[in-house]
Amino acid sequence: MRVLMIGSGGVGDAAARIAAERDFFELWVVADYDAARAARTVREVAQRHTTVRPERFVAASVDASDTAAVTALVREHGATHVFNAVDPRFVMPIFEGARAAGADYLDMAMSLSTRHETDPYAKTGVKLGDEQFAQAPQWEAEGRLALVGIGVEPGLSDVFARYAADHLFSEIDELGTRDGANLAVHDEDGNEIFAPSFSIWTTIEECLNPPVIWEKGRGWYTTEPFSEPEVFDFPEGIGPVECVNVEHEEVLLMPRWVDAKRVTFKYGLGDEFIGVLKTLNTLGLDRTEKVRVQGAAGPVEVSPRDVVAACLPDPATIGPRMTGKTCAGLFVTGTGTDGRPRRTYLYHVVDNEWSMRTYGAQCVVWQTAVNPVVALELLARGTWSGSGVLGPEAFDAQPFLDLLAASRPEGYGSPWGLEDR
For 80-135, what is each residue's pLDDT tens digit? 999 999 999 999 999 999 999 999 999 999 999 999 999 999 999 999 999 999 99
Tell me the per-residue pLDDT of 315-326, one tens digit each, with 9 for 90 and over.
778 878 899 999
Alpha helices in 49-188 (DSSP H): 67-77, 91-101, 130-133, 136-141, 156-163
Tell me the per-residue pLDDT of 60-72, one tens digit each, with 9 for 90 and over.
999 999 999 999 9
Tell me the per-residue pLDDT of 357-396, one tens digit each, with 9 for 90 and over.
999 999 999 999 999 999 999 999 999 999 999 999 999 9
- What value does the mean pLDDT take over residues 248-253? 98
List Cβ neighbours of 233 (8 Å cut-off, separation of 6 or more): 239, 240
The residue that leads in pLDDT, 280 or 327, is 327
The residues that bridge with 333 in the sheet, in sequence order, are 174, 343
For residues 114 and 120, what is the distance between their CA atoms, to the nearest angstrom?
Answer: 9
DSSP letter (8 states) at residue 72: H
Q: Which amino acid is at 69?
A: A
For residues 231 and 220, what is the distance between their CA atoms, to the nearest angstrom?
Answer: 24
List Cβ neighbours of 81 (8 Å cut-off, separation of 6 or more): 1, 2, 3, 4, 103, 104, 105, 106, 376, 379
Kindly write down the DSSP assignment for every residue of 225-240, as one continuous string: TT-S-EEEEETTTTEE
Which residues of the chain form CATH 3.40.50.720? Answer: 2-151+367-416
Terminal Cα-to-Cα distance of the chain (whole angstroms):
42
pLDDT of residue 193: 78
* Spatial contact of 129 and 224, defined as CB atoms under 8 Å apart: no
- What value does the mean pLDDT take over residues 251-277? 92
- b vs e for 116-143, b when ≥16 Cβ sit within 10 Å of the residue's Cβ? beeeeeeebbebbbbbbbebeeebbeee
Tell me the per-residue pLDDT of 120-148, one tens digit each, with 9 for 90 and over.
999 999 999 999 999 999 999 999 999 99
Give the CATH number of domain 2-151+367-416; options: 3.40.50.720, 3.40.640.10, 1.25.40.10, 3.40.50.12170. 3.40.50.720
Q: Which amino acid is at 222?
A: T
Kindly write down the DSSP assignment for every residue of 185-241, as one continuous string: EE-TTS-EE---SS-HHHHHHHHHSPPEEEETTTEEEE--TT-S-EEEEETTTTEEE
Tell me yes or no: is domain 156-364 CATH 3.40.50.150. no
For residues 373 and 169, what is the distance between their CA atoms, to the nearest angstrom?
Answer: 28
For residues 222 and 234, what is the distance between their CA atoms, to the nearest angstrom?
Answer: 26
* Spatial contact of 192 and 186, defined as CB atoms under 8 Å apart: yes
pLDDT of residue 349: 98
List Cβ neighbours of 93 (8 Å cut-off, separation of 6 or more): 64, 65, 66, 67, 70
pLDDT of residue 402: 98
- What value does the mean pLDDT take over residues 162-175? 98
Tell me the per-residue pLDDT of 23-79, one tens digit each, with 9 for 90 and over.
999 999 999 999 999 999 999 999 887 777 778 999 999 999 999 999 999 999 999
Query: 3-state DSSP call for residue 135?
Result: coil
Which residues of the chain form CATH 3.30.360.10? Answer: 156-364
Nearest residue to 160 via CA among 240, 236, 254: 254
How many Cβ atoms from other residues are within 10 Å of residue 190's Cβ?
7
pLDDT of residue 315: 78
Tell me the per-residue pLDDT of 185-239, one tens digit each, with 9 for 90 and over.
888 888 887 777 767 887 888 788 999 999 999 999 999 999 999 999 999 999 9
